[in-house]
């Protein structure tokens, strides 16, 4: 992937998008933050958070079944788009969903939405399965004395994620498709170019444009 992509190309826009997220992080660390109370049509607690908490505290199977019905067909689609066979993807999705149950105690709603968390589990499993590689993960953060995340931080993070999702949905289809390919296709920019027939420069500028639009939408 490296020989064909110049790191600077998409930096500016991506950097800008993520300053928003960085602010979020800083406020998490401080433990206090202003909450955006604007109604964006999402549950303030965040979609599916209560389900995971019920699995964690009460091994709640009906909650798990609902989560499963929502996420499993998405994870399976993700794995197939990334090059798994349907039967591999079926088996792997079941493992991902079982991991979600077993690791429910590690889920931190002040740092990730449930969809983000499921995505990271599925991505790591995909690297195991398709590439037969280890996936090095960063050292766990030590969060200091407070064991439970602050409710205010949970609301803030979940709302920001909802904003990002809304902005992403509002992107023109061509830009959404490219981001989806970059995430789900396990393709480098060059491979995307070969597949879509678009020149490399166009792809990079489209991804940059997409990230730029996201940044503006999140202001």
Partner 1 sequence: MSNEIKHHLTDELLMGYSAGTLPEAFNLMVATHLSLCDACRAQAESYDTLGGCMLQDVSETVDMADDALDATLALIAGGVAADAPTRPSCDVLPAPLRDYVGGSVSDIKWKPVGMGVKQAILPTSAAASARLLFIPAGAAVPDHGHKGMELTMVLQGAFSDAIDRFARGDVEIADEDLEHMPVADISADCICLAVTDAPLKFNSLIPRLLQPFLRI
Q: Which is nearer to partner 1, 26 or 151 (CB)?
A: 26
**In Å, what is the CA distance from 27 to each residue of 19, 42, 140, 152?**
12, 21, 18, 10
Q: Which is nearer to partner 1, 89 or 193 (CB)?
A: 89
Which long-range contacts (C-beta less than 8 Å, at least 24 apart) are formed by 22-29? 24/156, 24/157, 24/160, 27/153, 27/156, 28/110, 28/111, 28/149, 28/153, 28/157
- Shortest reach from residue 100's CB to partner 1, in Å: 9
- Shortest reach from residue 211's CB to partner 1, in Å: 9
- Shortest reach from residue 104's CB to partner 1, in Å: 11
- Shortest reach from residue 72's CB to partner 1, in Å: 5
- Shortest reach from residue 128's CB to partner 1, in Å: 10
Q: Which is nearer to partner 1, 26 or 57 (CB)?
A: 26
- Give the dihedral sign, CA 172/177/180/186: negative
Q: Which is nearer to partner 1, 53 or 99 (CB)?
A: 99
Q: Which is nearer to partner 1, 56 or 165 (CB)?
A: 165
Question: HSE (CB half, 13 Å, CA atoms) of 14?
Answer: 11
For residue 18, with 0-12 CB atoms within 10 Å meaning exposed, 13-18 middle and 19 or more buried, which class applies?
middle
């Amino acid at each position: 992937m490296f020989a064909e992509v110049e790191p600077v190309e998409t930096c500016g826009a991506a950097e800008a998008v993520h300053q928003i997220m960085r602010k979020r992080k800083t406020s998490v660390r401080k433990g206090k933050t202003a909450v955006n109370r604007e109604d964006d049509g999402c549950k303030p607690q965040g979609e599916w958070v209560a389900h995971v908490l019920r699995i964690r505290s009460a091994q709640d199977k009906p909650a798990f079944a609902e989560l499963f019905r929502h996420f499993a067909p998405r994870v399976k689609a993700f794995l197939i788009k990334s090059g798994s066979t349907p039967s591999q993807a079926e088996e792997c999705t079941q493992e991902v969903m079982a991991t979600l149950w077993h690791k429910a105690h590690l889920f931190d709603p002040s740092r990730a939405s449930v969809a983000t968390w499921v995505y990271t589990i599925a991505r790591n499993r995909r690297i195991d399965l398709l590439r037969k590689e280890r996936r090095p993960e960063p050292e766990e953060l030590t969060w200091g004395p407070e064991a439970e995340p602050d409710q205010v931080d949970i609301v803030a993070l979940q709302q920001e994620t909802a904003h990002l999702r809304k902005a992403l949905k509002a992107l023109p289809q061509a830009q959404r498709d490219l981001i989806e390919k970059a995430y789900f296709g396990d393709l480098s920019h060059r491979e995307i170019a070969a597949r879509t027939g678009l020149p490399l420069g166009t792809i990079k500028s489209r991804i940059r444009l997409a990230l730029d639009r996201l940044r503006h939408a999140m202001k």
